[in-house]
Structure 1
Amino acid sequence: MNDLMEQLPRPMVERIGRMSGMALRSIIALIDEQPDTFAALVERIGTWDDDPGRTPMPLPRYQFAIREALRIVNDALTAIEERSPLPNEVLVEGACDLIKRLAPAQYREDALAKMAAFPAGSEPMDISGGEDAGPVDFVIAAAAGAWLCGGAGGRMATLENIRLMLLQQVRNAESTATGAPERERVDQVSDEDALALLADLYDEDYAHLIPGPRERGPWEWDMLAVLKTHLLETPADATSPNQAKELKTRLLTVLQAAAATQRTKPSVRTVGKRTQPKRTPKRKRKGK
């Protein structure tokens, strides 16, 4: 827990941690296309302050959760726009698709109406909801974050690594909420533990298929991310047969995606006469 958090009242620290964790889990739920989980999280963010013994907070209920979702949105936009601009309408279209398919019915129409009012092109687009932000604005922010982190129409690679990053932040936020000491927090998984799980799922030879960090390609990082994501939530020795089957399916999906994106390279260099470019004579300097 950083110095700033240590100076805050314990109830506020707990609320910050819980809201951050639920906001990030909401984005993950949309990435995984789990509408029931997403709906439950949207509802829980709004009712958390009503639990017996809670200290009333001055901020609107959804404001901090929206800020956390927008932090993910801004980070993803920064990464994408380092390569090329992303027009507002592309983000709106992607987020609207998630809202139509996965958002709770009671917020869907209002969320889509707000999205339709956002400007096109590169005009500033405020999706925070302002001072009166509520569940509709959170649905919008979470959908935008999920669409960006879910690939952004092919603009973001290594989906499993992004999902792992989100879950690591979730675990850190939840540890902050509970006040767990640093030594008891589990928000990172080592390569060794991930490879050991891979060996358990198949056999020892499979673990040797993934090289060291410097030699890994995107699909190998994604395979490790799948395994680490599982281990953040479930110990290896508690992995059920159904979970093992699901892990194998996800690993196979990563491998299939890798195979689909590989380009065949010629194994023999083209042989032929190389034509040397003609040199242009240097321009003579004029004497004084």
Structure 2
Amino acid sequence: MPVKNGAKYLRRALDSLKIQNYPNLEILACVGPSIDNTKEIFKEYGIPIAYEDDNNAADALINGYRLATGEILGLLPHDDEILPGALHKVNLAFQDHNIEWVYSATNSINTDGSIHSRLGNETNVTLEMMVERNLIPTISSFFKKETYLRVGGIRKAFPYPTDYELWLKMLAVGTRPHKIKDDLAIFHVTGLNGSMDTIETTITAPEVKQLRDIYFKKLSLGAKIRVGARRYRARLKPLLKKYPIADRFLRRLHKIVR
């Protein structure tokens, strides 16, 4: 759990873990320089600080995952929450030893309780799909530590879109995510985080583009053509409205190489 000045919402996140009643839960608090009572709240819940004075989210996650002793890893930001029974559902899914990575859809909730958006609706996510957009919510994702280590883990080279890089790396080596039917978590839009769309269009945008370019090169020729056609169609959308013949040509090209 990476935290920096997270006192306002931290108890809600910790309470959501407490009510899991999961016997083998290990909570690793990775705390950045905080001027509020974040550390005192962890102490109140009997949770020791596992790592302190991290430089950014990537540093916190790298050290948190390194220190984890369990077989399954997950991330809970201090302003989000895990839904009741989620960890038992995750454990049940991993009873199938062929599964290395699970996730669920999740609601993104505004501060007034209204639904901001629905995240993670897609199933059978592939590298081709992920190159175009981050489709898997971090808070409802769990994966084997063995798999995390096999792909090289998180790198400091991409300090903000850490989850996106990890998903791309796992998909690139053939690890397919298994979607759990029930929601596992709630993503809260608090002003301290933001929706997946907002994140990709602000401070992380250059890094996201760099990652997409790197993993686009790893796609098959057919996948590259499909992705390229969709990208060009999106860029040329105003022009294609004027020239429907060109629009139909791109659509047919996509079907041919699908």
> Which structure shows the higher helix fraction?
1
Q: How high is the TM-score relative to the length of structure 2?
A: 0.31
> Which structure shows the higher strand fraction?
2
Q: How high is the TM-score relative to the length of structure 1?
A: 0.29
